[in-house]
Structure 1
Amino acid sequence: MNPDQEFVQRDTAAHPPAFTPIYKTSAFRSPRLPLWSLQNSLSEVTGPVFGQGELGPLDNDLVRNYAREGGEPIGERIIVHGHVLDGNARPVPGALVEFWQANAAGRYRHRNDRYEAPIDPNFGGCGRCLTDAEGRYHFRTVKPGPYPFRNRVNDWRPAHIHFSVFGSGFAQRLITQMYFEGDPLIPHDAILATIPDPAARERLVARLDLNAALPLHTLAYRWDIVLRGSRSTLFENRLQGN
């Protein structure tokens, strides 16, 4: 660590407790006993190493990577881009970023999704990319729709995209969700409401970026993923702090 760079203590208070009554399923998912710490095997901390050879040419283009010949998905086309950064705002190159989402009607292409919205035959809803030498990632997709979920009587999820970021091994995987600036459902979301720190909630919201938009064609949103530090992104599977 560079001695000129400040060490930032983890803020565990920014993360939601495992049991959060406003989110009903946390009653079933939250642990009842103290967690066990298991020793990682060598394969879990040293591999795999991801390279461009593992990626297909359309992996980061959700508009085209599942479309039938001559078909296109329905919905508002958008570009999502940003950086993956460490706690000192340095780029993280070569990180595998995966993303998945509902279609423009708010339905996932998954057999357990029973929402009555239609499935788009030209939209698969998942993709991946590697960050470049400057830690940048980008992909093209359609803006996901909101959808209801069985929590309270009339709870809806805001439009969101799920993200997974891999480190240098299988045990170094972080998962989170990204939301969209201006979505009126954000203040009403029971899942976001489990996060006690308003600033941490704001760091999950992508901002409209007209400078990266394609005129007369595609809007763009920017969202940076910060792995740790005072400006870190909140990750679902790292509740002990970043």
Structure 2
Amino acid sequence: MPRTTPSQTVGPFLHIGLADDPYAADEGAPGGLWIRGTVYDGAGAPMPDAIVETWQADPDGRFDHPADPRGARTSPGFRGFARCATDADGAYSVFTRKPGAVPGPAGPQAPHIDVSLFARGMLRRVVTRLYFPEDAAARAADPVLSAITDDRERDTLLARAADDGYRFDIRVQGPGETVFFDV
């Protein structure tokens, strides 16, 4: 049996090392909704061995973190962080509440959810953002989203409305590849 070393990718140990809790908000929280999607690899096949992690502000635009300059306070029953492993079909689901706008160094940022992806073949996570379709004016003024000049690339960050929340598919490579940020 080969020994594992720090230079290997996350491989088969991915699900062992990262706990799964898909609830950023308490189940049944007022305004609660599901973010659902599928993670696809470079060949367009669903990835059954990935983990999607989300971090976001609460509906008032505050983070549950001491570094929030307005003070760490969030809505009751809201923690702002969730992690969900993909299933055999590459699907994930996270239960949360829609975030509010947050201040940024270059102006207000539109309501968004930061999304990290951990998966096979990756030495480091990749990070993207999910924006909401009904926030067109806020998205147009968002300094991060405005830095992406290609409309097709910008569209990869836009969730689609669904019956119980939103749909946000992630494509790691290839046609329609999701925009990832260098953080």
Which of the five TM-score ranges fits, normalised by the shorter chain?
0.7 to 0.9
Amino acid at match of 1:198: D
TM-score normalised over the length of structure 2: 0.86
The runs of at least 4 consecutive aligned structure 1 residues that moved more than 4 Å come to: none
Amino acid at match of 1:108: F
1:134 to 89, 92, 98: 89
2:110 to 143, 146, 158: 158
Q: Take 2:15 and 2:88, find their aligned partners in 1: how far apart are those partners?
A: 13
The alignment's C-alpha RMSD in Å is 2.5
Mapped pair 1:51 → 2:15 = yes
Change (3 A) 1:44 1:99: farther
Report deviation, 1:171. Answer: 1.5
Report deviation, 1:120. Answer: 2.3
Mapped pair 1:233 → 2:178 = yes
| Structure 1: stretches of 5+ with no match in the other structure | 1-40, 66-71, 214-219
Identity %: 34
Higher deviation after alignment, 44-53 or 109-118 = 44-53
Report deviation, 1:90. Answer: 0.7
Q: Take 1:117 and 1:171, find their aligned partners in 2: how far apart are those partners?
A: 32
Pair member with larger Rg: 1
TM-score normalised over the length of structure 1: 0.66
Amino acid at match of 2:49: G
1:29 aligned partner: none
Q: Take 1:45 and 1:188, find their aligned partners in 2: how far apart are those partners?
A: 41
Larger fraction in strand: 2
Given that 1:107 and 1:147 are in contact with CA atoms closer than 8 Å, whether structure 2 keeps it comes out as yes
Given that 1:146 and 1:156 are in contact with CA atoms closer than 8 Å, whether structure 2 keeps it comes out as yes
1:60 aligned partner: 22
Report deviation, 1:230. Answer: 2.2
| Structure 2: stretches of 5+ with no match in the other structure | none
Report deviation, 1:179. Answer: 0.4
